[in-house]
Amino acid sequence: MITHHCDICNKTFQSENALNDHNRGKHPEKKEKLLFTDKQKKRIKIFFTLLIIMGAIWLIFFFVSNIKTLPPSTMEGHAEISPPAHILQEPMKLVVHKHMLEHADGKEGGRGGIIINYNCDNFVCEDGLIKKLEAFAVKYPEHVYVAPFPNMEAKIVLTKLNQQKVLNEYDEQAIEEFIQ
């Protein structure tokens, strides 16, 4: 039989409840005051668990929303389709964009294309900017394409296979150098 022993007055008890009753009545100074009840501890655990989950969700949202959206610069996932023209008023489909990086106009073994994308929806584009960009497709009709790219994180992005150049403003010399 298990007995419980009072360390202060050396009495023995048959149950833990009896010892606890004895300590409350005879030795109140020994009684430890609990900081939190079990119910409060459970609520605190739930609160901090929810706080951690909400923090993790916020971090994921923050990192995902800050990922830069730029045109692709690889051929991975391309389709053997060519765009209808070198100057487009609508965005070029990504699979087509990737194919033009491989070879302009889909000519097997041909030179890789260069795509000039612009975003005048999220950025302020000065008058005549699009016409200036389109002039490069006219000047280099065999391999330069110009198309809008909505929601891009830049005003102008020049892309060729495995290379990109981001421009915050129109820079004719930088575009020429990239094309060459």
Q: What is the CATH classification number for the domain harbouring 116?
A: 3.40.30
Report how far apart, in Å, the C-alpha atoms of 57 and of each of 52, 66, 68, 142 are: 9, 14, 19, 48
- The residue among 16 and 36 whose pLDDT is bigger is 16
Tokens of 156: 């102008």
d(CA 102, CA 162): 10
Q: 165 and 120, same structural domain?
A: yes
Q: Is 136 within a domain?
A: yes
pTM over 0.85: no
As for how many domains the chain has, the answer is: 2
- The residue among 7 and 173 whose pLDDT is bigger is 173
Tokens of 78: 């391309």
Q: Is 86 within a domain?
A: no
Q: Is 57 within a domain?
A: yes
Averaged over 85-92, what is the pLDDT?
A: 86
Q: Is 139 within a domain?
A: yes
Write out the H or E segment, with its range, that includes residue 164. strand 163-167
Q: Is 167 within a domain?
A: yes
Looking at residue 59, what is its pLDDT? 85
Q: 60 and 124, same structural domain?
A: no
Note down the domain range covering 57: 4-65
Q: 102 and 50, same structural domain?
A: no
Strand order in the sheet with 163-167: 144-148, 114-118, 156-160, 163-167
Is residue 5 scored above 80 in pLDDT?
yes
Q: Nearest 5°: phi and psi at 30? A: -80, -25
Most confident of 66-70, 107-111, 113-117: 113-117
Q: Kindly tell me the sign of the dihedral angle through the C-alpha atoms of 74, 80, 85, 86.
A: positive
d(CA 13, CA 85): 95
Q: Is 70 within a domain?
A: no
Q: Is 85 within a domain?
A: no
Tell me the per-residue pLDDT of 28-78, one tens digit each, with 9 for 90 and over.
765 566 677 788 889 999 999 999 999 999 888 877 665 567 777 777 777
Tell me the per-residue pLDDT of 119-162, one tens digit each, with 9 for 90 and over.
988 888 889 888 999 988 888 888 888 899 888 888 888 888 88
